[in-house]
Structure 1
Amino acid sequence: MNRFPHLALAGAAVCLSGCMSMSRSETVSALSTDWTANGRVDEITLTKGELKVTPQFDDIFKAKVKAKLDACAGGTRPLRLEAKIDRLDKANPVMTTVVAGANVLRGEARLVDIVTGKVVADYKVGQTIVGGRFAIVVMGEAEEQLSEAFGDELCKQAFPAPK
């Protein structure tokens, strides 16, 4: 099966329409069903490598991730999210205008029972958001965009909506 026509079509759609998100996330150790149903994230800690981010990044990240988690994890048992960001690449505005660009985030998310201090889940979080010339404004807000994507990924992996 030749994938080139599909990739070319997807690339053209991105250039014409806006953004496309790709996940490279995985579960290292899953949250138990009890925690999924009854957990909520009360605290967020963030560690990061040598990233080129604004001085406001920590506050942006915590606020955006907390807002996402508040929407998907509304239980009564308190958790702490220990987030670690290893990579955060922002799209080059010139390249995004001409062809396309990508905002990339790679990191880890650990959920810790605040009462016992025990790690109850561990996830790898990876998001790549590709945008074309019509998405230049959205792609320019990389820190906000990737922080929301981190929260979305954690919601999908740890606190999926009931079926």
Structure 2
Amino acid sequence: MKTAAAAIAAVLLSAAFGLGACAPVVTGGPPLALPAALIDTARAGSITVSSDWLRSEDDFTDTFSDELRQELARCAVGTYPLDVRVHLDRLHRNGRLDVLLTGEGMHTLSGLVEFVDPARGGRVVGRYPVSVGVQAGGRVAGLLGDRQMMVSEAFGRDLCTQAFGRNPRGPAVTRATPG
């Protein structure tokens, strides 16, 4: 009974503080480049996200998944579906007040991404560590900007560059962050 009460208290406490954690969905291991044949033929299938304890908004996983899917749709343009598993281990967003006062700040996100081939029994066919940092964008952007979207877009763009050798974003008007 004590254990159940402690578990319920932990869940309620984590919900109250906007924290979330779950067991990693990745198997882990050294980086593994996608086979050359998949670079031009792959597209993103399902996206599954897990994380360490991250301080984030309630909608972070949705925002992250949406941004990652948008980036991958621009660089993984083939027809062969690969599932994408992501484990995020670090998220830092500069506080809005700090950025407003100093005009500076950096948002960072890191994790491990695995591309999994469901047609081959869930075999991992690509694995990439991703770590990105995005400038807060000055006082106004730091105060009003969507920090989660900015760092998630940069994460997806870096993954595209590593896995598929191409930046999915063209002119600056199509992206929220430089690069």
Q: TM-score, normalised by structure 1?
A: 0.77
Identity of aligned residues (%): 32
Q: Secondary structure, in 3 states, of the residue corresponding to 1:59?
A: helix
Matches within 5 A, 1:79-158: 79-99=82-102, 100-116=104-120, 117-131=122-136, 132-137=138-143, 140-158=145-163
- The answer for the alignment partner of 2:170 in structure 1 is none
Check the 8 A contact 1:93/1:101 in 2, yes or no.
no
Q: Is it true that 1:29 corresponds to 2:32 in the alignment?
A: yes
Displacement of 1:129 in angstroms is 1.0
Displacement of 1:146 in angstroms is 1.3
Check the 8 A contact 1:88/1:104 in 2, yes or no.
yes
Aligned with 2:68 (options 55, 65, 69): 65
Amino acid aligned to 1:49: D
Q: Secondary structure, in 3 states, of the residue corresponding to 2:54?
A: coil
- The answer for the alignment partner of 1:51 in structure 2 is 54
Q: Secondary structure, in 3 states, of the residue corresponding to 1:74?
A: coil
- The answer for the alignment partner of 2:3 in structure 1 is none
Structure 2: segments with no counterpart, 5+ residues: 1-29, 168-179
CA separation of 1:85 and 1:33: change in aligned 2, threshold 3 A: same
Following the alignment from structure 2 to structure 1, what is the Cα–Cα distance between the partners of residues 132 and 77?
Answer: 24
Check the 8 A contact 1:103/1:128 in 2, yes or no.
yes
Following the alignment from structure 1 to structure 2, what is the Cα–Cα distance between the partners of residues 72 and 130?
Answer: 24
Q: Secondary structure, in 3 states, of the residue corresponding to 2:50?
A: strand
Name the structure, 1 or 2, with higher relative contact order (CA <8 Å, separation 6+): 1
Q: Which has the higher strand share?
A: 1
Displacement of 1:137 in angstroms is 4.2
List structure 1 segments (4+ residues) > 3 angstroms apart after TM superposition: none
Following the alignment from structure 1 to structure 2, what is the Cα–Cα distance between the partners of residues 111 and 103?
Answer: 25
Displacement of 1:161 in angstroms is 3.4
Aligned with 1:42 (options 38, 42, 45): 45
Encode CA deviations 1:52-79: one digit per residue, 9 max, x unaligned.
1122111111111101101111111110
The count of aligned residue pairs is: 135
Check the 8 A contact 1:65/1:150 in 2, yes or no.
yes
Encode CA deviations 1:67-118: one digit per residue, 9 max, x unaligned.
1101111111110110011011111112212221110101111111121111
Q: TM-score, normalised by structure 2?
A: 0.70
CA separation of 1:98 and 1:137: change in aligned 2, threshold 3 A: closer
Following the alignment from structure 2 to structure 1, what is the Cα–Cα distance between the partners of residues 118 and 143?
Answer: 39
